[in-house]
Structure 1
Amino acid sequence: MELNEIMGERLNFATAPDGVRIAWRDDGDPGAPAVLLCSMGTAAMSVWDPIVPALAPRWRLIRHDRRGDGESDPGAPASHSFQGYARDALMVLDAAGGSAAHVTGMAFGARVAAALAMLAPSRVNRLMLFDATGGPPAPEPLRREMSRKAAVLRAEAGRPKAFFDPRWFERRDPAGAGLSRHAFAGLPDWTPGLETIAAPTLVACGDHDPNLEGARRMAREIPGAVFRLMPMTGHASLLDDPGQTAELIREFLDAA
């Protein structure tokens, strides 16, 4: 089954200046406050499906497939940068008719969300960064091992295992595989400019996420940022504990 069949007729496309088509969709009341969702690395926009029912009754959720992932075109390798991803996300917000939005990023997508907040501060009402760090990404084996330990703790506590659909990580064009690694080329050891972020910001990270200390540092550097620790949660908290993720988003937006 193709991803566009799974998502249905509400799949839209916006075309970037380089001709790359970016797939997007929205859920909820078009007149409700907008929340722009930036997905974790290699994931399609459908990875947010588990929390859409909890949030769509109150907010308009605008999500997209980053270039190279899901239904979006891959684009040239050199087009893959966090600034470029942020511009694509702003283009999607324009296509959806939004002047500004609350912006939420998950893991890799948190880097995109932070870049967007620095690139276009007037477009960001509130900023939510999950599983984020301003430093280099942790090795994949370490992320997997720590997530495994968190899963053991959740099982011992009697918490149900979160639903997982492998189709969340499918892409229409296999040429997109691996292109996101180009976004890290030439980056400094730490993201500069976090102190310039003006939007009220939530930084949330799992207690079993290798990014934890980096997330704490981000919260210290972003003026007025709120930090929340997510217990029994590894990297990509949306997969480990979607309920907790949705609750933190609700809580932060309700404080607006």
Structure 2
Amino acid sequence: MGPREGTVTVNGLRLHYLEWAGPGPAVVLHHATSLHAWVWEPIARHLARRWRVVAYDARGHGDSDRPPQGYGWDALAADLACFIEALSLAPAAVVGHSSGGTAALACAARRPELVSRIVALEPVLLPPQVEGPEWRERHQQWVQTARRRRTVWPSREAAFRYLRRREAYAHWREDVLRLYLEKGTFLRPDGHVELKMSGELEAQVYEGRAALDIWPLLPAISCPVLLVCSQSPNPGLEWGIREAARRLAMARVEQAPGSHFFPQERPEETASLVESFLGEG
């Protein structure tokens, strides 16, 4: 049986969420930038054998509201806290991917009573010492690439073939990529399909990283944290993850096979890794 869909108002915005009923306490899933709640489906289905699993579309993503501005990562963290409160999920374990992992850490630091454990799947944690010209240039490339990205195709099948040739999506499991397109696009009057999240909003989320300085917050996190980095070469992110582990009170680092998108490439392995850590609590 598929998940139950719902909406809740958080910080003046309507957020769309999916819920898989399970016997245990809540696990909240926060997706990466430009994705949406449905990409968690195979992972959530696995975890729901033991827990109540809730995945939501962050502001500007999926079927949630799209304000014209307000995409700082501090806002993402505040939304997460309010979402947990609004659905009475606390204390919840939080699993976040990329920017979602960073938001989970900030939420736990500011509202420790809401979060019991964190699994941060390759969170974006760039140490201050690498925030130099090279990384600023790379970050600007992400922003510009987002603004230029193709968002319209003649059909979902055409979109699937196009994305399969792009490095970021090349190794996604087929069912996950098809679900990303099925739930992440809409049918236009001219018969074409278009991504629900525009390139402009995606760029704003990338730019919003500057609104959250995560490093001073890390010592305030008291719950257990699992930080997971991918095996693909990503020296800046891996360095940040290992530095974060050093600053956190209860943290360990594990490595997952695949690229930055390993949750979409290897969802069953990712689910097993998450289940193992959450089961320790």
Counterpart CA distance in 2 for 1:134 and 1:255 is 25
User: For 2:206 and 2:124, how far apart are their aligned partners in 1?
Assistant: 16
**Structure 1 equivalent of residue 100 of structure 2:** 109
Alignment check: 8 A CA contact 2:168 2:261 kept: no
Amino acid at match of 2:110: L
Q: Distance in 2 between the 1:240 and 1:25 partners?
A: 21
Q: Structure 1: where are the runs of 5+ without partners? A: 1-6, 152-159
Match of 2:149 in 1: none
Q: Which has the larger radius of gyration?
A: 2
Say which of 6, 11, 27 aligns to 2:5. Answer: 11
CA–CA distance in 1 between the matches of 2:273 and 2:98? 15
Structure-1 residue corresponding to 2:215? 191
- SS where residue 185 of structure 1 aligns? helix
Question: Which residue of structure 1 aligns with residue 50 of structure 2?
Answer: 58
Amino acid paired to 1:253: L
Structure 2 contact 74–211 (Cα < 8 Å) conserved: no
Once the two structures are TM-superposed, the CA of residue 61 in structure 1 deviates from its matched residue by 0.6
Q: Which amino acid aligns with 2:115?
A: V
247 and 207 in structure 1: CA distance in 2 versus 1, 3 angstrom threshold: same
Asked if the contact 2:226/2:277 (under 8 Å) is kept, the reply is yes
Task: Pick the aligned partner of 1:21 from 14, 25, 45.
Answer: 14
- Following superposition, the deviation at residue 240 of structure 1 comes to 2.1
Q: TM-score, normalised by structure 2?
A: 0.73
Distance 1:218 1:173, change over 3 A: closer
Structure 1 residue aligned with 2:230: 206
Would you say 1:45 and 2:37 are equivalent positions? yes
8 Å contact from structure 1 (residues 162, 239) kept in 2: no
2:116 corresponds, among 122, 125, 130, to: 125
Q: What amino acid does structure 2 have at the position aligned with 1:67? A: R
Deviation (angstroms), 1:116? 0.8
Shift of 1:212: 1.7
Over 3 Å counting, the alpha-carbon distance change for 1:52 and 1:222 in structure 2 is: same
Contact kept? 2:7, 2:17, Cα under 8 Å: yes
Q: 1:215 to 1:172 in 2, by over 3 A?
A: same
Amino acid at match of 2:245: A
CA deviations over 1:146-181 (Å, ceiling 9, x no partner): 997xx6xxxxxxxx9564224254454647443312
SS in 1 for 2:65: coil
Q: Distance in 1 between matches of 2:211 and 2:65?
A: 24
Q: How many pairs are equivalent?
A: 232
Task: For 1:105-254, list aligned pairs within 5 A.
Answer: 105-135=96-126, 163=175, 164-165=177-178, 166-167=180-181, 169-170=184-185, 172=196, 174=198, 176-186=201-211, 191-210=215-234, 211-231=237-257, 233-254=258-279
Residue-by-residue CA offset, 1:59-113 (whole Å, 9 max, x unaligned): 1111110000000111241x21222112212222223222210011101111111
Please give the secondary structure, in 2, of the residue aligned with 1:118: helix
Looking at structure 2, the residues matched to 27 and 209 of structure 1 have their Cα atoms a distance apart, in angstroms, of 34
Q: What amino acid does structure 1 have at the position aligned with 2:62?
A: G
TM-aligned CA deviation for residue 47 of structure 1 = 0.9
The letter for the 1-side match of 2:10 is A
Q: Which amino acid aligns with 2:25?
A: P
Q: Distance in 2 between matches of 1:147 and 1:73?
A: 25
CA distance in 2, matches of 1:209, 1:180: 24
* Whole-angstrom distance in 2 between the partners of 1:183 and 1:246: 29
User: What's the RMSD between the two structures over aligned residues?
Assistant: 2.7
